[in-house]
Structure 1
Amino acid sequence: MALSITASRPDPALLDLPWDTPLEDWPEEYLAALPRGISRHVVRFVKLSGRVLAVKEIKTVLAEREYQMLRLLRRLDLPTVEPVGVVSGRVDKAGEPLDACLLTRHLQFSLPYRALFSQSLRPDTATRLIDALAVLLVKLHLAGFWWGDVSLSNALFRRDAGAFAAYLVDAETGELHQSLTDGQREHDLDIARVNIAGELMDLEAGGYLPEGADPIEISTQIVTRYTELWNELTGPERFEQGDRWRVDERIRRLNELGFDVDELSISTDFDGTQIQIQPKVVDAGHHSRRLLRLTGLDVEENQARRLLNDLDAYRAANDRQNEDEEIVAHDWLAKVYEPITRAVPRDLAGKLEPAELFHEVLEHRWYMSEHAGRDVPLEDAIADYVSTVLPSKPDEMAVVGVDTVEMPVVAMFDDD
């Protein structure tokens, strides 16, 4: 049996990896020290050509199917990990066949949910993660993707201006349809509620869930959050013909949730007295696309919202509302954003991605100003944050520290 590598952009360095060795026995010299979640499959992170790949050992037919599904989801611009390739036709040194390996690119600054709970986090972390998972599930369902195994374990989370953004990492059970029925969506929600309850019970048993937190109560929040968001995005709204301003109000609400309205369906009653409005096509990323257009910064949605708020404040403070927005954005980037992100010493640069660092410095400045009873200069806030706060944060680029596989577990759930 010949070794076969399927990849859109094959890297010759893939041939240097020990494919004739079971993945769980790969030598340390090939591995990257990143926290792993719990999985029914063997998963390892490897260093290759200056990047980090996640390698999952899985049956060939499943690896090829998941690879193609992830490629489809990426083409639909959905939040998933990037598929790199499939390695099949593996045999060990004795000539015995080995399972194939699915390769995906590691998402920088992302963590599995168990790694997040190994850190010192806010008491409402579980709720914020479920909010992020609900947003991800809505985006997938709008695109016609039925997940089939919704859980915290099957997603990765990146900090997003105090909240979290969720990315799908396991599409093994998923199906892509033209659109989903209500029954398919409800089935995914039932799976999510049961899986999340079990995951939170594991954390509770290991002492990682805040005291008094109820796993069952928290897990049911995904149904509530999902339903609210789904209805806001897809539900029709009726109003009197004279209240046309409510069309704009509806669009603004959708934008505030992080969605753009690409098309609206507007109809009137026979007598023209009432108008019904319903979003037809919605897409995520209103704020991040605006920031990218103005500054070239490609960041998460909540981070983009926070940066744009600071940009707007800079514009107002300098009385430049009537100037070209792109020119003001260029000045803000050079005079505000870059001085903050460049103030971090090289040895601390891997702690947080630049946009999240910027957000935290602004938060730190606000707390300092409140304590001092006066406006603290930005330079003082940067210096204080770098010296007193940043050094104690975990390194989220290289993620040094706890391996979440070693955390106590009551029940086993799969993830990537």
Structure 2
Amino acid sequence: MPTSLEITAARLDPALLDLPWEIPLEEWPESVLAALPRGISRHVVRFVRLSGRVIAIKEIGETVAFHEYEMLRNLNRLQAPSVQPLAVITGRSTPLGEPLDSVLVTEHLQFSLPYRALFSQYLRRDTATRLIDALAVLLVRLHLLGFYWGDVSLSNTLFRRDAGAFAAYLVDAETGEFQPTLTVGQREYDLDLARTNIIGELMDLQAGGFVSEEVDTIEVGNRIVERYTALWQELTSSESFENGERWRVSARIHRLNELGYDVGELSMTTDVDGTRIQIQPKVVDAGHHHRRLMRLTGLDVQENQARRMLNDLDAFRAATDRQGEEEEFVAHDWLARVFEPTVRAIPRELRGKLEPAEVFHEVLEHRWFISQQQQRDVPLPDAVASYIDNVLRHRPDERAVLDPGADTETIPRIEF
């Protein structure tokens, strides 16, 4: 082992020292490598099984390796969809003392594939458009974080299957930079580069027989511009409306949730013409909503229920102009003034239909629906009454269905 070898890592895996760093990466023996599909790269990339997992090793210049390592670390801290950096290894040399390039080590993203591997399988005809949609979402998320990619392409992205669609992850951050706020020119450059690269990559696949000649590669490439623009507009635009139209806030949040975004903050300002709303999305990790709601209210509910309830809490906070107050105080008032009165309004004989959190969720959905129908902000008590008469009374008793032999009078009830 050359004495000049240096490893920079947040947590060092000793097994890294056992790999043949004195050999150029392209000459590593098959016994060391993991047989996984590789995408196109300007650099030599190899996969290796190490300590029960698979790592990706990319041979690259020292300065660029450290830059990409820091970019990926920052992206991971911000919970952006990207691969996880593990180490930078410098000071490599052959047994004869000839210098070798440094390497960047990242953790392989499980169940992910490069786009070429996806097209080599039997997939639906709309695979290309679904990949483009996933890449558009990724690019929007990165830009919202102030990250300028500088080399957007299908080749620099990994894809995971996601319930019939795909989720995209950044895998190459060599040219990336963080800025306090991206300019329109920086965003448009990334977007135009993405369009150009996608068209070229799809044409290459067509030449190789992986994409049907009937596919219009120009049209598919243009799709990322359309999808990105629509997503960016929905996520960053301001919306003006008159007082008493709070249903528009719920409608905006609903649209964002449909796009796969969670609303982390609502800011509202009032002027002589009405109220202006600006919604800033925040990408959060799994279980975030359950933990946040538990911390704020003590309610132990399912993740999707928690997300719906937190959205209502955030809307309540904005509507009451209390964004400068401590979140815990606002949550206490929301619990006392919104959640508990809603659950208490359910007649005793109907409380076995659904659990309280699900009842509240359905009330909010019902309120949103009838507010859309009536084009006005339906007061919560009116929505509860409508829900009880038109929805809940016609539901089967869920508690009895779950336990047909149970005596419903002996089952403890949750009272508020």
TM-score of the superposition, structure 2-length normalised? 0.69
d(CA) in 2 for partners of 1:20, 1:238: 63
Report the CA distance between 1:284 and its aligned residue: 2.5
After the TM superposition, which residues 365-380 of structure 1 pair with which residues of structure 2 at under 5 Å, given as runs?
Answer: none
Q: Does 1:30 align with 2:32?
A: yes
CA contact (8 A) 2:154 2:201 kept: yes
Aligned to 2:355: 322
Q: Does 1:83 align with 2:85?
A: yes
Aligned to 2:133: 131
Aligned to 1:353: none
Higher relative contact order (CA 8 A, sep 6+): 1
Report the CA distance between 1:288 and its aligned residue: 6.5
Could you list the structure 1 runs, at least 4 aligned residues long, displaced by more than 3 angstroms after superposition.
285-297
Aligned to 2:414: none
Aligned to 1:275: 275
CA contact (8 A) 2:83 2:108 kept: yes
Aligned to 1:186: 188
* Residue type at the aligned position of 1:233: L
d(CA) in 2 for partners of 1:55, 1:141: 27
Residues 126 and 90 of structure 1, relative CA distance in 2, 3 Å threshold: same
SS at match of 1:228: helix
RMSD of aligned alpha carbons: 2.1
d(CA) in 2 for partners of 1:134, 1:85: 29
Question: Residue by residue, what CA displacement relative to the aligned partner does 1:284-306 show, whole Å, maximum 9, x if unpaired?
Answer: 35886458996799xxxxxxxxx
Report the CA distance between 1:323 and its aligned residue: 5.0
Residues 196 and 10 of structure 1, relative CA distance in 2, 3 Å threshold: same
SS at match of 2:31: helix
Q: Does 1:197 align with 2:199?
A: yes
Report the CA distance between 1:224 and its aligned residue: 0.5
Report the CA distance between 1:127 and its aligned residue: 0.4
SS at match of 1:53: strand
d(CA) in 2 for partners of 1:135, 1:36: 23
SS at match of 1:237: strand
Q: Does 1:258 align with 2:276?
A: no
Report the CA distance between 1:102 and its aligned residue: 0.3
Report the CA distance between 1:274 and its aligned residue: 2.5
SS at match of 1:45: strand
Residues 291 and 31 of structure 1, relative CA distance in 2, 3 Å threshold: farther
* Residue type at the aligned position of 1:151: S
Residues 296 and 14 of structure 1, relative CA distance in 2, 3 Å threshold: farther
Among 173, 176, 200, the alignment partner of 1:174 is 176
Residues 233 and 102 of structure 1, relative CA distance in 2, 3 Å threshold: same
d(CA) in 1 for partners of 2:91, 2:23: 13
Residues 211 and 290 of structure 1, relative CA distance in 2, 3 Å threshold: farther
Report the CA distance between 1:28 and its aligned residue: 0.7
Aligned to 1:208: 210
TM-score of the superposition, structure 1-length normalised? 0.69
Q: Does 1:2 align with 2:4?
A: yes
Identity among equivalent pairs (%): 64
5+ residue gaps, structure 2, are 292-299, 305-351, 359-416
Residues 23 and 286 of structure 1, relative CA distance in 2, 3 Å threshold: closer
Question: Residue by residue, what CA displacement relative to the aligned partner does 1:47-94 show, whole Å, maximum 9, x if unpaired?
Answer: 111110000000011111101110011001101100000111000122
d(CA) in 2 for partners of 1:153, 1:286: 26
5+ residue gaps, structure 1, are 298-318, 326-416
d(CA) in 1 for partners of 2:357, 2:144: 36
Report the CA distance between 1:240 and its aligned residue: 2.0
Q: Does 1:111 align with 2:113?
A: yes
CA contact (8 A) 2:146 2:181 kept: yes
SS at match of 1:97: coil
CA contact (8 A) 1:197 1:218 kept: yes
Residues 144 and 192 of structure 1, relative CA distance in 2, 3 Å threshold: same
Among 226, 234, 237, the alignment partner of 1:235 is 237
CA contact (8 A) 2:72 2:173 kept: yes
Report the CA distance between 1:265 and its aligned residue: 2.4
* Residue type at the aligned position of 1:224: E
SS at match of 1:170: coil
